[in-house]
Amino acid sequence: MAEPAERQEFDVVVVGGGPGGYPAAIRAAQVGLRTALVEKERPGGVCLNWGCIPTKAMLRSAEVLETMQHSAEYGVLADNVRLDYPTVLKRKERVVKTLTDGVAKLLKANGVTVVGGHARFTGPTSLEVVAVGVGRGSTITSRGGSGPRRRSRMRIHSTVCASAALWPQWKIVSAWSTSV
DSSP of 25-76? HHHHHHTT--EEEEESS-TTHHHHHTSHHHHHHHHHHHHHHHHHHTGGGGT-
pTM above 0.75, yes or no: no
Query: Quick one: what percent of the chain has pLDDT higher than 90?
Result: 56
Mean pLDDT highest for which of 42-46, 143-147, 148-152?
42-46
Q: Is residue 79 part of a domain?
A: yes
Average pLDDT, the chain: 79
Which of these ranges, 146-150, 162-166, 174-178, has the smallest mean pLDDT? 174-178
- Of 18-22, 84-88, 138-142, 155-159, least confident by mean pLDDT is 155-159
**177, part of any domain:** no
> For residue 167, is it within any domain?
no
Task: Please determine, for residue 22, whether its predicted confidence score (pLDDT) is greater than 60.
Answer: yes
pLDDT of residue 174: 34
Range of the domain at 63: 1-149
In a domain, residue 9? The reply is: yes
Q: Is the pLDDT of residue 146 over 60?
A: no
Stretch 122-139: mean pLDDT, rounded? 73
Say whether pLDDT at 75 is over 90: yes
166 within some domain? no
Is position 168 within any domain?
no
Q: Kindly report the backbone phi and psi dihedral angles of residue 38, in degrees, each rounded to the nearest multiple of 5, phi listed first.
A: -100, 125
Please count the structural domains in the chain.
1
Whether residue 169 is contained in a domain is answered as no
155 falls within a domain: no
Could you tell me the CATH number of the domain that includes residue 20?
3.50.50.60
What is the Cβ-side half-sphere exposure of residue 118, based on CA atoms within 13 angstroms? 8
Banded model confidence at residue 134, pLDDT cuts 50, 70, 90: low
